[in-house]
């Protein structure tokens, strides 16, 4: 997805936040909502990695506390020509991973304990290469800002329902209820538009980094199968961050369908297999 299109979608998300404020609180609500949106964007710029990592209770590790994972990530980062990111582990049985940070020099990757226990070393390498591709393509800031704004829209809608809108609200209770339902839905659709193209591109770049597209294809197939059966409690508590994971971590609640921000796993695997068929045979760095 091009930067212009992504910027337009982020602008749309900000406009949606402002529109919700306008509908619920008139001109005053619009001004307050836009000020909040601007402040949240600045906050996300400087604190996106810390915020998301705290949401998921991620713990930073190094080459002593995680001697298998951290050197693997470092090797991949070196191959990709990237600064070595911080590495975190999330205690959950669901295999999954994400990357965050405002730039390659301030980036972090996080893997769940389920990923480390249920996937082979080659498959983990494919997943970590995918996350480094997000960092290389500078997706991490955009994805975190999107999560922040989408989450804020949901909070604004719930706040409006609790207080029935401000005294400048001209919509009445029916309008408030409509805003509560439609605003998070629209935010989820914008998240979907931003995320889907970036996942395909990260698959392509990540497969190039690791040199073995089928490693990532195998990992995606396994993760999707486990994620459909195993809860990720922290992701369920913070559904607006779901698009940051390599595979959608949500499945336990009906609302999760609103955050189906990932492209079809089958389509992703098919593209990776096609890519593998077009690449010259090469050895991975740990073959």
Spatial separation of the C-alpha atoms in residues 199 and 117, rounded to whole Å: 24
Helix axes 265-278, 213-227, angle to 10 degrees: 170
Q: Residues of the chain with pLDDT > 90: what percent?
A: 46
pLDDT value, residue 2: 47
Q: State pLDDT tens for residues 9-32.
A: 567 667 766 766 666 666 776 677
Spatial separation of the C-alpha atoms in residues 14 and 30, rounded to whole Å: 11
Q: Which of 26-40, 44-58, 70-84 has the lowest mean pLDDT?
A: 26-40
CB 130 within 8 A of CB 199: no
Q: Which of 56-70, 153-167, 256-270 has the lowest mean pLDDT?
A: 153-167
pLDDT value, residue 1: 47
pLDDT value, residue 287: 47
3-class SS string, 134-148: HHHCCHHHHHHHHHH
Q: Which of 9-18, 51-60, 108-117, 228-237 has the lowest mean pLDDT?
A: 9-18
What contacts 242, CB < 8 A, 6 or more positions away?
Answer: 235, 248, 249, 250, 256, 259, 261
Per mean pLDDT, which of 9-13, 20-24, 195-199, 233-237 is the most reliable?
233-237
What contacts 205, CB < 8 A, 6 or more positions away?
Answer: 133, 136, 137
pLDDT value, residue 218: 97
> In angstroms, what CA-CA distances link 134 with 128, 162, 195, 206, 223?
10, 38, 11, 8, 18
Residue that wins the pLDDT comparison between 157 and 101: 101
> In angstroms, what CA-CA distances link 57 with 68, 86, 111, 255?
21, 15, 12, 23
Residues annotated as part of the active site: 131
Residue that wins the pLDDT comparison between 23 and 39: 39
Which CATH architecture group holds 47-143+181-278?
Answer: 2-Layer Sandwich (3.30)
Closest by alpha carbon to 42, among 141, 156, 154? 141
């Amino acid at each position: 997805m091009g930067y212009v299109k992504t910027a337009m979608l982020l602008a749309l998300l900000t406009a949606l936040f402002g529109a919700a404020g306008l509908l619920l609180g008139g001109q005053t609500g619009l001004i307050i909502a836009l000020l909040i949106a601007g402040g949240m964007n600045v906050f996300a710029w400087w604190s996106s990695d810390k915020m998301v990592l705290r949401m998921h209770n991620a713990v930073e590790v190094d080459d002593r506390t995680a001697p298998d994972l951290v050197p693997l990530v470092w090797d991949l980062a070196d191959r990709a020509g990237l600064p070595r990111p911080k590495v975190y582990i999330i205690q959950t049985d669901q295999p999954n991973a994400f990357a965050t940070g405002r730039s390659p020099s301030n980036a972090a990757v996080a893997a769940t304990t389920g990923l480390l226990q249920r996937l082979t070393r080659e498959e983990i390498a494919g997943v970590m290469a995918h996350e480094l591709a997000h960092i290389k393509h500078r997706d991490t800031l955009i994805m975190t800002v999107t999560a922040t704004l989408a989450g804020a829209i949901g909070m604004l809608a719930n706040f409006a329902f609790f207080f029935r809108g401000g005294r400048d609200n001209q919509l009445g209770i029916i309008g408030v209820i409509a805003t509560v339902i439609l605003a998070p839905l629209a935010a989820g659709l914008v998240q979907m538009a931003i995320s889907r193209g970036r996942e395909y591109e990260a698959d392509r770049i990540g497969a190039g980094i690791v040199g073995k597209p089928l490693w990532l294809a195998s990992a995606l197939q396994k993760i999707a199968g486990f994620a459909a059966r195993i809860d990720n409690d922290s992701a369920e508590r913070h559904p607006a961050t779901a698009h940051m994971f390599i595979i959608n971590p949500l499945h336990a609640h009906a609302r999760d369908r609103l955050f189906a921000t990932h492209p079809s796993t089958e389509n992703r695997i098919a593209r990776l297999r096609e890519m593998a068929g077009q690449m010259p045979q090469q050895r991975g760095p740990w073959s």
